[in-house]
Amino acid sequence: MKSIASAPAKIILFGEHFVVHGTPAILAAIDKRVTVTSTFTENGTVKINSELGTLEVSISSLYKYKEVESEFRPFVYLTNKIIDSNQNVKGLEITINSDIPIGVGLGSSSACCVATTASISGLFKELSSEEILKMSIEAEKTIFPDSSGADCTVCTYGGMIEYPSIEKIDNTFDLNLLIANSMIPHNTKNSVEKVNKFKENDEERFSQLCDLETKLIGEVITVMKNNDTAAFGLKMSENQKYLEEIQVSNDTLRGMISSLKEISLGTKITGAGDGGCVIALVKDENMSKVPALLPKDKKCFSAKIDTKGVVWKIEK
């Protein structure tokens, strides 16, 4: 018996970083996925195969998940938690296949946590989306305790959502979203700590920026209801100014944003910044001009919004 689950990558359209401090954010799931397959074995171990390597842990030491390298920790945590409440398991093999680039702000780690929760638990009993989300946030917190939970939420439910209300946003206008990867890996934990320092040094300005972000998100909702793509783009660029101010941008990202300016309605970092990806709202007729505008070492692709979120099935 195989339990197969998949979950989508995500982008943050508005509100990254500020969301960690309680302001809302707007996120969307996109059409790149991670697929996790779990099967029972008789080996007395849990074996995890991913593109980062293979880890095999004996069932009796799963509870020491905190000692495992961070790349594998959430999966060992999840296995420990799920097996603990399902005695008599003799072994498991978990295989992770992903088309989501790692460490560049597209939610690879959250999508892995969501899909792994659904896949392993599917071997025992079907969980609700809410249960999958709760457990996957716990797993993600084993490597990033400050996580806002926004990424796992959109990977679970799919579509475009406002966080934390989890209200689905109907995007009636077609968003032509270009994602450009700086190819500089980032570390979300470090970027979040940097923003915490900014806040400590200037509580007043940080609080103003949180208020500005909250206001901006309210305006974005209205703009979307009015189908005003041009205004949506301007709001993205406005959000980028706030991200510049909290210092999660750098010369490479600024260079990419400025190169895309002439063909986009708005461009910003998506995710933690300090590397990773930028997103640009680009009109259809300008999509073909994008590769010529970016340095050759940057990768770009256009993203469609994924509406499905996490899905799972059992194969006998």
> Both tokens of residue 130?
């809410």
d(CA 151, CA 63): 26
Q: Decide if 146 is catalytic.
A: no
Q: What is the per-residue burial (b if ≥16 Cβ within 10 Å, else e) of 132-163?
A: bbebbbbbbbbbbeebbbbbbbbbbbbbbbbb
Site pattern 20..39 for ligand PMV (x: CB under 6 A):
x-------------------
Footprint of ligand PMV on 92-121 (CB under 6 A): 105, 107
Provide the CB-side half-sphere exposure for 82 (13 A, CA).
Answer: 30
Residue 147 interacting with ligand PMV (CB under 6 A):
yes
Residue 116 or 188 having the CB closest to ligand PMV: 188
Query: Regarding beta strands 53-58 and 2-14, do their DSSP bridges make them parallel or antiparallel, or are they unpaired?
Result: unpaired
- Binding segment for ligand PMV (CB under 6 A), chosen from 72-80, 91-99, 111-119, 148-156, is 148-156
Least distance (Å) from ligand PMV to the CB of residue 248?
A: 8
8-state DSSP, 51: T
Q: Which amino acid is at 190?
A: N
Binds ligand PMV by CB under 6 A, chosen from 148, 229, 239, 267: 148
Structure tokens at 125: 């009993």
* Pairing between β-strand 167-168 and β-strand 160-163 as defined by DSSP bridges: antiparallel
Considering only 57, 112, 139, 150, the residue that binds ligand PMV (CB under 6 A) is: 150
Only one of the segments 123-131, 145-153, 170-178, 306-314 lies at the binding site for ligand PMV (rule: CB under 6 A); that segment is 145-153
**CB of 98 or CB of 188, closer to ligand PMV:** 188
Work out which of 122, 158, 233, 271 binds ligand PMV, going by CB under 6 A.
271
Binding mask 185-224 for ligand PMV (x = CB under 6 A): ---x---x--------------------------------
Query: Does the protein bind ligand PMV through residue 159 (CB under 6 A)?
Result: no
For residue 158, state whether it binds ligand PMV (rule: CB under 6 A): no
Number of residues in contact with ligand PMV, rule: CB under 6 A? 16
Could you tell me if 269 and 248 are in contact, meaning their C-beta atoms sit under 8 angstroms apart?
Answer: yes
Decide whether 19 or 177 has the Cβ nearer to ligand PMV: 19
CA angle 239, 243, 248 (to 5 degrees): 155
Considering only CA atoms, which of 28, 4, 13 is closest in space to residue 170?
A: 28
User: Out of 31, 151, 174, 228, which one is annotated catalytic?
Assistant: 151
> Is the Cβ of residue 117 or residue 121 nearer to ligand PMV in the bound state?
117
- Rounded-to-integer distance, Cα 291 and Cα 260, Å: 10
Residue among 264, 298, 300, 267 nearest 282 (CA): 264
Rounded Cα gap, residues 39 and 25, in angstroms: 37
Enumerate binding residues for ligand PMV (CB under 6 A). 12, 16-17, 19-20, 105, 107, 147-148, 150-151, 188, 192, 271-272, 276
Q: What are the residue numbers of the active site?
A: 151
